A and B are shown apart, each in its own frame.
Chain A
Amino acid sequence: MEINVNDTLDTKGMACPMPIVKTKKALNSIGHGHVIEVLATDRGSTADLKAWADTTGHLYLGTIEEGDVLKHYIRKGDESEPSDSVAHQDRLSLDDLSTRVTNDDHVVLIDVREHAEFAFGHIPGAVNIPLGELEDRLDEVSKEYEVCVICRTGSRSDLAAQKLAYHGYAQVKNVVPGMSDWNGPIEQGTQ
């Protein structure tokens, strides 16, 4: 599958520790929340990137194997969480979302995570509009139905919900906490 990323780093042919050393450096030059694709041939790089991301607050999204090449996807950690004072008040729990997804045909679920995050696992039926693209793609979102917005932990979806409300969407719900706690069905791939 093709995954849109903010940057690509080629470490093919490099042995441990270079894939991590280079990734660490490359992350310094991209924005928070952005996704980097790391190409590597070192087999040990998968486990190391995963463990490294866990200790540094970055998010290891997944790896795709293409022949001898491993394509790793990492999202640079957020700088800060938005505070509750500006939060979008209308929220929906994962349990309630689960019920709606199963029973209600008219639920519109927008997943505002980055393309690569979405590709490695999303709720079936969700539409991927990364937060950064939302304002340009409002015409894809119907005002007729209730709109549920989800991300990984509820922060980006909160900002998205506020944006939608500002643009006149009357029924917007921020799904909390988000995909990090979702235990229901998951689908992989891009749209």
Chain B
Amino acid sequence: MAVEIIDSDALAKKIINKSDTFILDVRNTEEFEDWKIEGEHVQIMNEPYFNLLDDVSAIEEKISKNQEVIVVCAKGGSSQLVGELLDDAGFTNVFSLEGGMKAWSEHLEPVKIADLKGGGELFQFVRLGKGCLSYFISSEGEAAVIDPSRMIDVYQKFAEERNVQITHIIDTHLHADHISGGKSLADEVNGTYYLPPGDATDVTYRFEALEERSQIQVGSATVNVQPIYSPGHTPGSTSLIIDEAYLLTGDILFVASIGRPDLAGKADAWAVDLQETLFQRFIRLPEELLVLPAHYAFVKELKTGGEVSAPLGKLYEKNPGLQLEDEREFRRMLTENLPQQPNAYDKIRQTNMGKFVPDHQEKNDMELGPNRCAIHE
């Protein structure tokens, strides 16, 4: 037996299909505690590789030798070594995750959400390593990508395979938790890049204003994208209604939580905006709209197959963030439950404004770590 390689794609499929998965993470404990692979049926154990160089007895006591073990490290080198050591020790079902957590963090899993009018399709791209969600809408040879990650080649390849041309690229807000691929994807495909003007006061590049009065058509007027101004996470945050059936909420409203108002500096003012958006604007929208957020916070939000969504009406019944209409209670919840801010969030914002140009390694380092865009109790 030799150590087998498993790639991010295969691991993602296991996780979204909720297969039992056992992971041995051999990074150092500090990195492991900051951020690790999660899934509803994932069991995970940490033992740094440098503790296993002489002997693997620490593992032998805890794992049966016939059990499937997926060894994971930062980039794939140490997991390969530990895999070989386990193999030597008589473990029979050992895999090493190719490219490690770096590859995992960059993996995007496309999940089909729905067929749209006139043969169009709507896909959700689930970034399991970060909890980020982006969207791909195709219609009559054209496509729009919403809140794209920096791995823009994935969307380009996906468009090629479906024989469509990406024409519209939209960011619902200026992101603080991940580097947007919006501007670079637009440049690459010669498409139009949309950004809400309220978030774009400091950006250094040209963009098209994403505003309520300007509807966007994908394909020949078959798929309609209706911007809804919904401030609160950022001053410009804008949601999108697709085909009158899907509500892309960006970082304002998630399935099991709500957005946080503090990442661009003005928590108090934006908490008021957030409350207005949630309790005065969204509440008037049709309750059957399917909410498709830009993030998820808990692995339990992933349905089997990977989709993250819920009807708007259901969220008003169940989402803890939507149960406190009282202004003071709501504000108390917001301010008392602010999680730690995402790693490097200010640098990420500067990058998304075009003010800072990191190289690939820096981009990767800036995005390492868990996603912390949601507020939940």
What residues make up the interface of A, taking CB atoms closer than 8 Å to B?
Answer: 15-18, 20-21, 24, 43-44, 47-48, 51-52, 55
Contacts and interface: CB of A to CB of B under 8 A. Distances in A.
B30 A55 contact: no
Contact of A44 (B29, B74, B81): B74
15 contacts: A15-B77, A16-B75, A17-B50, A17-B53, A17-B73, A17-B77, A17-B78, A17-B81, A20-B50, A21-B81, A24-B50, A44-B74, A47-B28, A51-B28, A51-B30
At the interface, is chain B mostly helix, strand, loop or mixed? Answer: helix
B31 A55 contact: no
B98 to A, nearest CB: 14
Contact of A51 (B50, B81, B361): B50
Main DSSP-derived SS at the A contact region: helix
Given A16-B74, A16-B75, A21 B29 contact: no
A11 B206 CA distance: 45
B48 interface: yes
Contacts, number: 44
B75 A52 contact: no
Interface string B53-77: 1000000000000000000011101
B35 interface: no
Contacts of B51: 52, 55
Contacts of B78: 16-17
A62 to B, nearest CB: 17
Nearest to A50: B28
A44 B365 CA distance: 11
B30 A47 contact: yes
Contacts of A20: 49-50, 53
Contacts of B361: 43
Contact of A16 (B29, B53, B73): B73
A52 B26 CA distance: 12
Nearest to A15: B77
A48 B50 contact: yes
Task: Report, nearest first, the 7 A-B pairs whose CB atoms are least far apart.
Answer: A17-B78, A51-B28, A52-B50, A15-B77, A16-B77, A20-B50, A16-B78
Given A47-B28, A51-B29, A51-B30, A15 B50 contact: no
Nearest to A56: B50
A51 B77 contact: no
